[in-house]
Amino acid sequence: MRKLLLIICLICSVPAVCQYGQGVTASAKMMSGHDGFSSVLEPLWSYTAARIEWSKIAADKSDNPSVKAFAKTTAEQQEQLAHNLLEKGNAYGAQYARTVEGKNKKTSEKLRTLSGQDFDKEYLKAMQSSGNNVADLLHNGSLSFSDVDIQTFCTRLQDIFAHQDDEAHKLLKSVK
């Protein structure tokens, strides 16, 4: 856990709790080697905002102490990541949605209707599924750009999401 927090601290230059509903507008021109990085940042923002929302729901709703603790920790980590994404978005001209949208919104709505083990299972499955999508996105991002800063950013985030996915997988086994 300390290693994960160290990784997050390295990624986030200023610790802060983000209000993920704040939008970022395209204010900076993309520089050489950065073209298209917003195509990584924007979906990453979408998954991060969803994971924050889902984890806050789980922290309130889950009856399982292990799932509740995982959800609280994940929400905090994802909020730190969201703060960092706001900074990166400003630097690279990304535009972020102000709310959770699309299939992530449907997942939020579904989670709000469930309870007990059914809730825990759906929450953990959603975390794993979104984590797999993020892992693919970050892997492709780390290979697609020549800028070392972008490659390092993507690689460090892969570690955070991999850890959260491992935890979700272990918990999912225990609630079946």
Q: Tell me: the pLDDT tens digits for 129-150? A: 999 999 999 988 888 888 888 8
22: CB partners within 8 A, 6+ apart? 86, 98
Here the CATH number for the domain that contains residue 145 is 1.20.1260.10
* Domain range enclosing 48: 35-175
Q: Does 93 fall in a domain?
A: yes
* Cα angle for residues 40, 155, 79 (degrees, 5° grid): 65
Q: Which residue has the tokens 């900074």?
A: 87
Helix axes 102-113, 116-144, angle to 10 degrees: 160
Q: Does 68 fall in a domain?
A: yes
Q: Does 39 fall in a domain?
A: yes
Q: Does 28 fall in a domain?
A: no
Q: Does 136 fall in a domain?
A: yes
| 93 phi-psi bin (left φ>0, alpha ψ -120 to 50, beta other) | left
CB of 51 within 8 A of CB of 74?
yes
Helix extents (H) in 22-147: 38-61, 65-92, 102-113, 116-144
Q: Does 23 fall in a domain?
A: no
Q: Tens digits of per-residue pLDDT, 45-85?
A: 999 999 999 999 999 999 999 999 999 999 999 999 999 99
CB of 26 within 8 A of CB of 94?
yes
Q: Does 95 fall in a domain?
A: yes
Whole-number Å distance between alpha carbons of 10 and 142:
17
Whole-number Å distance between alpha carbons of 144 and 40:
10
Q: How many domains does the chain have?
A: 1
Element (H, E) at 1: none
Token pair recorded at residue 39: 């195509």
pLDDT at 9: 41
Query: Residue 92 — pLDDT band, cuts 50, 70, 90?
Result: confident
Residue 18 confidence (pLDDT) above 80: no
CA torsion 101→102→107→109, rounded to 10°? 60
Q: Does 20 fall in a domain?
A: no
